[in-house]
Chain A
């Protein structure tokens, strides 16, 4: 089984609707991340978590919220989706230590019409 899975993998929605993306990891990693990737911008950090119920904002957090009620799950919510949130979203996780290699999910492609 994959160490980290994202769902849904593809979603098309309309402006103004709420959207939740789910990230599930089986690595018992402490840290989890949500990034968005758009052409010319690389991976931009939306929110990250450093433990259950412990989250913090990244560089592009406006319009997004997150929750982490269990070690293995990290949810990203768009309360009212906008066309500017059309993107590919990647979840990642890592454990503790100096060599904190990120494990990535396969990505979720979101289109907001």
Chain B
């Protein structure tokens, strides 16, 4: 079992719709969770991080964390073509911050 798992997609949504991206992780002791966005040919950039159960909202983005189910998700409201990118879930493991990524979900927003 991979430590961090994501559906690779592509996930296609029409412009203006809600995109839902999901991530599961293996270590119940994990405390913080990160979503990065990566455009083709570029470095990943942080979208959001969350470390408490529940929802965290930032503009059009909402991160949801359920530690009991070992599940974290990212919702993108009012999706725009500029949101088309690969979204990477990242989880630090252990006391020495071994940061492990999922395979990423490619999102395509159709105009």
Q: Which residue of B lies closest to A41 (CB)?
A: B103
Distance from A52 Cβ to chain B, minimum over Cβ atoms (Å): 14
**A100 and B43: CB pair below 8 A?**
no
Whether A102 sits at the interface, judged by CB under 8 Å, is yes
Tell me the count of chain A residues lying within 8 A, CB to CB, of chain B: 27
**A58 and B98: CB pair below 8 A?**
yes
Cα-based distance from A56 to B43 in the complex (angstroms): 23
Whether B66 sits at the interface, judged by CB under 8 Å, is no
Cα-based distance from A57 to B8 in the complex (angstroms): 25
| Residues of B with C-beta under 8 A to A45 | 98-101
Whether A19 sits at the interface, judged by CB under 8 Å, is no
Distance from A66 Cβ to chain B, minimum over Cβ atoms (Å): 14
Among candidates A42, A48, A56, A106, residue contacting B88 with C-beta atoms closer than 8 Å = A42
Q: Which residues of B contact A (CB under 8 A)?
A: 6, 8, 31-32, 34, 36, 43-46, 49, 51, 88, 90, 92, 96-104
List 6 extra interface pairs beyond A42-B88, A43-B44, A100-B97, CB under 8 A.
A35-B101, A40-B8, A42-B101, A42-B104, A54-B96, A58-B100
Q: Which residues of A contact B (CB under 8 A)?
A: 31, 33, 35, 40-45, 48, 50, 54, 56, 58-59, 90, 92, 94, 98-102, 104-107
